[in-house]
Structure 1
Amino acid sequence: MHKVDIVKLDSKGRILIPIDIRRILGLREGMHLLIVLDAEHGEIRLTPFIDSGTRLAKITVGLRDIPGALARIARILADMDVDLLFSESRTIRRGEEAEWIAVADLTNCKLDLDDMRERLLTDGEATYVKIEVYK
């Protein structure tokens, strides 16, 4: 089913999603939405993501651009009970440096952010780790 509507951006950059669309998608106050920009086509996509009680974080990891490096980082996060919800990676310098950005659910992870960061730097051989928890 397709539904088309026109909404207006307010002075703070917010849009109001019409109630019928919120009902169809089951959107509730406090839910997180994933926003993806497609700058090439001048579009954004909003995807219902997860309920408000979830501990969401954006994890940015620098790593060597070698086969298996990203898999090693992902395995370490899985071992910490971190649930990866969305990710993308890019090569910065081929064969040398890459970056991985992931949106993750930390609800079941028992480690604090500093311990997570340290483990990724040590065991995963990450070159840098930044973890931002969404409120």
Structure 2
Amino acid sequence: MSDKITKTDEEWRSQLSREEYVVCREQGTERAFTGRYWDEKKSGTYHCNGCGEALFASDTKYDSGSGWPSFYQPINEASVEENRDTSHAMVRVEVHCAKCDTHLGHVFEDGPEPTGLRYCINSLSLKLEED
């Protein structure tokens, strides 16, 4: 992805709330069933809270029962990047925004067709732009 965004820690802290900063910049997570989008049904596009990059379309969102917004694919494969995450005594695949490195959540291989993937994303990492 071109036009990579880099900001100082101070710039991120001034842009994000304390809770957003913990999730987006420190790879935190919100508690299940507490985020503003876990049960959202409105049509639109979910953008990165850090840089505004379009990440997920509402028509790929589904109820995974996990308590976090879940999508079966990003709008563009190049808009998210993956890293191996071995925190919390688990091996998972972390996903972050390719443009600004905002931590989004994790991707699992237990999602619905057509991809079989579940992008389990923190609401604090997203902003919904309604259609």
Q: TM-score, normalised by structure 2?
A: 0.26
More strand by share: 1
Rg: which structure is higher?
1
Query: Highest relative contact order (Cα 8 Å, sep 6+), 1 or 2?
Result: 2
